Structure 1
Amino acid sequence: MRRSRRLLPALLLAPLALTGCGSDSLDSAAPPDRAELKARAEAAQTVVEHVYVTEADGFELARQSVGVIGDYGFQSTYVRDEGGAQLTLSVDRGTVTDGNCRTVPPAATRCEKDGKGWYRRTGSRHEYVRSENGLRIQLAADRGAVSRAVLRAAAETAHRADDRELDATLPETADPEGLPTDGGDTGRPAERGDLPPNGDGAPQDPPGAGG
């Protein structure tokens, strides 16, 4: 069954806390082992091989935007703190050629070869797209907010994430019951004393009381 495309509306990204994934912001500690990273990718309905990152001057990753697109694809959005311009990075199975450049989703009104990829215009947006490792890597933005030069630079910088970049990009895993971790070093689920042990999980007041 094909998964629904998980796309975060653009207007919701502006207030998100930003988390950079460039080398300056990566923790010096060793990243989690590969098995944990793979589990985190699986929890996000993708695979580590599909997780790509990029860099663009003034832009930082909105980590809350990270999610799946298509079947096991990957998508994330980078936001510029000044002005709120956004770059959307999408990775999915497929290729792009001169023959299908205009029809690759989303359909383009203009497509031209440029460097290692293609430059396309899709309505009010524009993007760079290239193929590698059996994947289609697309960097898109509004034409009025991000220049072609900035977009091309981000597209050329986009690369498959290494373990440190995976750790900085992928959402944290939840515990087996689906509760988020408390953000500490223990990895224990967040404490919620007002949740009953059975039923639909509706809060109780006081904890443990019926009704």
Structure 2
Amino acid sequence: FPGVMFINAFGQTETASTITMLGPEDHMFTGKETPEVREKKLKRLAGSIGRPMGDVVIQIWDENGKPLPPGPENIGEIMAKGERVMSGYWKDEAKTAKTLTKDGWLHTGDKGYMDDEGYVYLAGRGDDMIIRGGENISPEEVENVLYSHPKVNDAAVIGVPDLEWGQQPRAVIVLKEGMKATEQEIIDYCKDKLAGFKRPRSVVFIDELPRTSTGKVQRKVLREMYGKP
């Protein structure tokens, strides 16, 4: 479709739609970019939800409510503040108090980080985050590696209880039609692509991932079905 421009937008009902956007200029390549600039743009296309809109302030907070510095190692909750952020839930003071701080910051419930140029990257929902030995593991990061396996058609990663580490990542895999793979093959594939603590420790093969009517993977269902040690 010649002339069509793409954007990638992120928002919630509580923020009256879009609060960050990866604009058309981020999707365009002139062919004159330096290798460094091209690499940055490709990384953003692969994982960024863009920069904050002009009327919204975005910060990444740690579990103690303190803003985190930029960097992929500093994953926290994405917090939003601005005129478009809701003032509260209708006739539900308890839920409002849990979601909004007294000075108007919204807990989005999404985990992510910000780079040094203000681009925000999603790392998953707060309740989807896997915590192994105090280290946060983004399911989406592991899934992106699994998707690149030539035999994998679909994938999801969940946390499984572990007595020593708290949780361990488990991959739930749907293979391409006619393909066969072993648990060890999938684990070995991740060895040079992920940090040691992020690699799946176990693999389950199924025929189809449970999804919502909008196509989102139902991780809660997967945890109920395949989340036992």
Under a length normalisation based on structure 2, what TM-score does the superposition of the two structures give?
Answer: 0.24
Relative to total residues, which structure has the larger helix share, 1 or 2?
2
Under a length normalisation based on structure 1, what TM-score does the superposition of the two structures give?
Answer: 0.26
